Structure 1
Amino acid sequence: MVSEVSALSPSKAIDRIRASFGRPAEHDSNHRSLHAKGAFYSGTFTASARSKELSRAGHLQGDAVPVVLRWSNGGGNPRVPDKAPDVRGMSVSFKLADGTSTDILGQTAPRFVVRSPEAFVEFTEAARNPKKMPAFLLRHRDAVVPLLANGKAGALASPKSYAVATYYAVHAYKWVAADGKESWVRYTLRPASSTEPAGTFAGKDRLFEEITARLGAGPVTFTLEVQVAAEGDDPHDPMSVWKSKDVFDAGTFTFTSVAEDPEADGGVVVFDPTRIVDGIELSEDPILLYRPKAYSESVKRRMG
């Protein structure tokens, strides 16, 4: 699939997304348009030997690299209770030694349900207003199977902990090795180990209370799982299902503490899946290429 210029302006997209979660007066004006409720955490990432073999990117060479993590609820209401059905997000930014950074964004839904920015906004509106869902599905019949798969996977269920959920990155990337060899890959962030904290967590912010207590009991680790595309697997279509069986452990995330909130005094942090470094290249996925435009518009709203 070759990317096309979207007819939907970023301004209109953000207007519609924010409206679907209530007028700005009803919620804080300085929050993200989606994944509004979240918190930051600190840790490191150490890549495996095969990652170094497949990509020359600085964070994939085997040395421990600092990372900043944000776990979040998917919607646009920053005060939603954690028990509410919602996609959960895990966004990670790798901080390379040369001062550059690159990001991975994952969500608990294993399948993406649309192919274009316009359809994504329509889906967001329909998900917030069930009366609109039948008409959406009539216009986008190919969304039915991914929605059923996400339901079977419990993508919207409130997890026991952010540390025990699996997060799927929507987009594919091209890894370029030191010798120039190219491989298309997809990421999954899988929980590996952690210590369950004592106590009961049942309040409206229970996921954040639980993960704070869990980190207090010891580190939380995740595996970066990478699937390498086989012939016929489409890296440019966010809805595509790859047949490749080449899946490997690309490295380990070790999260150790709650981070000081970099947005507490009005700062803005953006996790951008198009932020890449040498050794990684973007696909022509229309959703991926639209994201930075939408993020820029959302940041403008957040900064007034």
Structure 2
Amino acid sequence: MLSPEQAVDRIRAAFGPPPGYRTLHAKGAFYTGTFTASPEATALSRAGHLTGEPVPVTVRWSNAGGNPRVPDPKPDIRGMAVSFRLADGTATDLLGQTSPRFPTDDPEEFVALTEASVRPLTVPLFLARHPRMAASVLGGFKALAPPVSFAEATFYPIHAYGWVDGAGTRTWVRYRFVPVATPADRLPQTFSGPDRLREEIAARLARGPVEHDVVVQVAGPGHDPHSATSVWKGAKELVAGRISVTETVPDPELDGAVIVFDPTRVVDGLELSDDPILRYRAGAYSESVSRRTQSHGG
């Protein structure tokens, strides 16, 4: 299997990011707010951020690629990373993307697709060589369109997690972040520059909170929680709570700090699936963080 070191080497070679930046999702900004869980979520998990009391969150909206200077009008997947900070000082993270499905359960195939995406004309040749990925990749093209605002985009944390209640009963769930904002809520001014999404969201936040409902699918018979490519047809859904982003914060990484959103960081009341992409990400993130730390002289 492709090692995390090899994966990071190949992706960084494809995008050529400057030292100190993330291997992917290199362009982004930080925000703070709160998350409040619903009674339905509280009934299914004993996790500390699902009690129904508001908990602080750190949010990072981003472009998916490894180029920190990519202009916002360029087609790209967008990301919404959320770190939930519990009262006991622990944290757990979810990483959403605007593409609703992951194209493969094989980390090496994902790296190869990422390399091909840097040169769009090579994507058809890649798909010809990997036909089973074609439906997912082609279906995700809509997600590449630049959104009007991060506030209007839906984000999909692609992995399933086990929710464990006070009696030890486990329920598998899969999330999505659904915007509360609608086109009717748009600001009167327009934003068209290379950083238009960041400028637009800052203007929105000056007016009031930006909110996303956390909606979860609940796995039923025949639904596979251990594959990022699986489709849960007919799954029951419930609103698990709401993320309310309230303000922009200065980028802590400008001073050399390394902030990590890790989808494998869980707390009591949550369990990881055996999804091979999810399990692989921890090692790849660790390697990417190591490169960033070294570049800052750490």
TM-score between the two structures when normalised by the length of structure 1: 0.93
Is 1:169 the counterpart of 2:157 in the alignment?
yes
Contact residue 196 and residue 217 of structure 1 kept, 8 A: no
Instruction: Tell me, in whole angstroms, the C-alpha distance in 2 between the residues paired with 1:244 and 1:175.
Output: 19
1:17 to 3, 11, 24: 11
1:189 maps to which residue? 177
Aligned to 1:207: 197
Is the 1:228–1:244 contact (alpha carbons within 8 Å) kept by the matching residues of 2?
A: no
The CA deviation at 1:132 is 3.6
- Residue deviations 1:188-235, cap 9 Å, x none? 000013853332211000000000000001111110000000111011
Aligned residue for 1:83, secondary structure, equals coil
Tell me which amino acid in the other structure corresponds to 1:206.
R
Mapping 1:69-80, distance limit 5 Å:
69-80=59-70
Q: 1:262 aligns with which of 238, 252, 260?
A: 252
State the one-letter code of the partner of 2:174: R
CA offsets per residue over residues 245-288 of structure 1, 9 Å max, x none? 31010001111100122212000001000000000000011110
Q: In 1, distance between residues paired with 2:24 and 2:198?
A: 18
Q: How many angstroms apart in 2 are the aligned matches of 1:253 and 1:135? A: 40
Instruction: Please say if 1:288 is aligned against 2:282.
Output: no
SS in 1 for 2:255: coil
Structure-1 residue corresponding to 2:166 = 178
**Partner residue of 1:64 out of 51, 54, 60:** 54
Unaligned regions of 5+ residues in structure 2, if any? none
Contact 1:229–1:244 at 8 Å: present in 2 too?
no
Report the TM-score when normalising by structure 2. 0.95
Determine if contact 1:40/1:68 at 8 Å carries over to the other structure: yes
Cα separation, 1, equivalents of 2:64 and 2:33: 22
Alignment of 1:115-134 (within 5 A): 115-134=105-124
Q: Which residue of 1 aligns with 2:263?
A: 273
- 2:264 alignment partner, SS class: coil
- 1:145 maps onto 2:140 in alignment: no
1:35: Cα distance to partner?
0.3
CA distance in 2, matches of 1:240, 1:142: 13
Q: Deviations over 1:68-114 (max 9, x none)?
A: 00000000000000000000000000000000000010000011111
Distance in 1 separating the partners of 2:244 and 2:122: 42
Q: Please give the alpha-carbon distance, in whole angstroms, between the structure 2 residues aligned to 1:13 and 1:192.
A: 36
Per the TM alignment, residue 126 of structure 1 is displaced from its structure 2 partner at its CA by 1.2
**Secondary structure, counterpart of 1:63 in structure 2:** coil
Aligned residues: 292
- Taking the aligned partners of 2:241 and 2:162, their CA distance within structure 1 comes to 17
Deviation per residue, 1:26-54 (Å, 9 max, x gap): x4211101000000000000000010100
Instruction: Describe the superposition over 1:97-145 as per-residue Cα deviations: whole angstroms up to 9, x where unpaired.
Output: 0000000100000111111111110110111123543442233221111
After TM superposition, the runs of 4+ consecutive aligned structure 1 residues lying more than 6 A away are none
Contact 1:102 1:276 in 2 (8 A): yes
**Amino acid corresponding to residue 106 of structure 1 in structure 2:** G
Question: AA paired with 1:32?
Answer: R
Q: Is it true that 1:95 corresponds to 2:89 in the alignment?
A: no
* Corresponding residue of 1:158: 146
